[in-house]
Amino acid sequence: MSSTTVTQASAPANSRSRVILASLIGTTIEFYDFYVYATAAVLVFPHLFFPAGDATTALLSSFAVFGAAMVARPLGAIFFGHLGDKVGRKTTLVAALLTMGIATFLIGLLPTYAIAGWFAPLLLVLLRLAQGFALGGEWSGAALVATENAPEGKRAWYGTFPQLGAPLGFIIANGLFLVIAALLPSADPSMPSTAFLEWGWRIPFLFSAVMVIVGLWVRLRLVESTAFTKTVESGKVVKLPLAEVFRKNWKELVLGTFFMLATYVLFYLMTTFSLSYGRAPIEPADATQLPGLGYSYTTFVLMMIVGVVFFGIFTLVSGPLADRYGRRKTLIWVTLGIIVFGLVWVPLLGAGFAGVMAWLIIGFTLMGMTFGPMGALLPELFPTNVRYTGSGISYNVSSILGAAVAPFIAVWLWGLADGSPVLVGVYLAASGVLTLVSLLISKETRDIDIDR
């Protein structure tokens, strides 16, 4: 018996519960941190960090900083991907989680523009970039922990657990904001209270420290996957994963980027733009504001949370479907649904409360169905020795093309159409067409050898 065989036989293995919990809790914390910022970008930051006479300009400035993190994500994917493919998944995941947690905690301690002038938004931008840098390394590592430890025939099912962190993070982050807003009520439902703006908004950012401690405890108990261990033992770890993946897997990088495009656009339209549109008054008193649905913050966030429950449910549903029918076929049908959904925004949003609720449920259901299979699909595109780098770059470059600009473009199109969401829906449909083309020219990955 060879020494390699003995090593593999005696190596500790991650239990099913440990794999699921480690991949789920980390992404939940990372997305919690991201959603806390996204919510504050709508409710708080335009008032405290970007004061301007024009309300729309202040909102756009806040969204621009929100999008800046997406630019940092590919850099994080390269940095953490290099570590993940060289020294292992476990160490890299711990480093990414710590980076995100520290940045989020420090945002909760920032001085505002009234206290520090331009220095305040500068610090906010820097910490936002740190958040993006960390998330760039988090997702691919969590997806690899899930898929490289999955039983045969269940990779897509296991790959949905890191994806489930997105809806869970949303519910925790927005639920906490709702509780704080209820405890610090405002006389004007369209505006946060004075106490909320002075100190209440800081609580969700500071609370991140508690969640990070829990996440670290779980991740430090992980052992490396068999796939990575085999790569080390066979001497196939490459010196420069970034150069290797661009040299040998550039086609997969391009395809993976466009696989995620519609997912990202839908994701940030439903979670960030929708909160602005839903809360905007039907008939603004200020000429600089754009008209919207006129719901109070509390009402609309509760409606969104109902939609996000469907996001979570259908994220889990998508895994077994992708395992049974294939990732490509499942995502082609879902992407067709996204295109149609983008074209029916106006009739849905014009049908009163029932129509708005249907819009949220349909949008978040499609989000779950398209986001779930990505946890298996992107890692399956790349061999083990460049998998962390390759899947991370595809996932995060797509964040620039989709998520970084989606809220900004959406607000611009919203204004261009005189307050109608029609062009925003067309923008979503157009991104869906690009994703559909990439899926049609791709090959199925369900049956590849994950240890290759």
Q: What's the pLDDT at 5? A: 38
Q: Are 372 and 160 in contact (CB under 8 A)?
A: yes
Q: What's the pLDDT at 7? A: 38
SS (HEC) of 293-320: CCCCHHHHHHHHHHHHHHHHHHHHHHHH
Amino acid at 191: M
Which residue did the predictor score with more confidence, 384 or 286? 384
Instruction: Say whether pLDDT at 126 is over 50.
Output: yes
Amino acid at 72: A
- Percent of the chain past pLDDT 70, that is, above it, reads 92
Angle of CA points 290, 295, 297, to nearest 5°: 100
pLDDT tens per residue, range 389-407: 999 999 988 988 887 788 7
pLDDT band at residue 272 using 50, 70 and 90 as cut-offs: confident
CA–CA distance, 148 with 268 (Å, rounded to integer):
28
pTM of the model: 0.84
pLDDT band at residue 54 using 50, 70 and 90 as cut-offs: low
Distances (CA, A) of 170 to 271, 348, 395, 413: 8, 23, 19, 25
pLDDT band at residue 9 using 50, 70 and 90 as cut-offs: very low
CA–CA distance, 260 with 331 (Å, rounded to integer):
10
Instruction: Say whether pLDDT at 200 is over 60.
Output: yes
pLDDT band at residue 131 using 50, 70 and 90 as cut-offs: confident
- Mean pLDDT rounded to a whole number for the chain: 86
Q: Please state the rounded mean pLDDT for residues 87-91.
A: 84
Q: What's the pLDDT at 192? A: 80
Q: What's the pLDDT at 10? A: 38
pLDDT band at residue 3 using 50, 70 and 90 as cut-offs: very low
DSSP assignment of 361-372: HHHHHHHHHHHT
Of 67-76, 171-180, 297-306, least confident by mean pLDDT is: 67-76
Instruction: Say whether pLDDT at 52 is over 70.
Output: no
Q: What's the pLDDT at 4? A: 38
Phi, psi for 220 (deg, rounded to 5): -70, -15
Of 60-64, 221-225, 332-336, 408-412, least confident by mean pLDDT is: 60-64
Q: What's the pLDDT at 63? A: 67
Extents of the domains making up the chain = 14-440
Which sign does the torsion angle of CA 102, 298, 412, 285 carry? negative
Place of tokens 């940092």: 72
Instruction: Say whether pLDDT at 363 is over 90.
Output: yes
How close are the terminal C-alpha atoms of the chain, in Å? 22
Greatest distance between any 2 Cα atoms in the chain: 80
Instruction: Say whether pLDDT at 438 is over 90.
Output: yes
Q: Are 61 and 52 in contact (CB under 8 A)?
A: yes
CA–CA distance, 330 with 369 (Å, rounded to integer):
8
Q: Which of 42, 37, 36, 67 is nearest to 279 (CA)?
A: 42
Q: Is 419 exposed, middle or buried (0-12, 13-18, 19+ CB in 10 A)?
A: middle
Distances (CA, A) of 332 to 162, 220, 322: 22, 38, 11
Which sign does the torsion angle of CA 389, 390, 391, 396 carry? positive
Q: What's the pLDDT at 258? A: 96
Distances (CA, A) of 251 to 313, 394, 397, 443: 32, 11, 14, 12
Give the range with max mean pLDDT: 122-131, 186-195, 408-417, 423-432. 423-432
Domain spanning 14-440: CATH superfamily: MFS general substrate transporter like domains (1.20.1250.20)
Chain centroid offset of residue 89 CA: 20
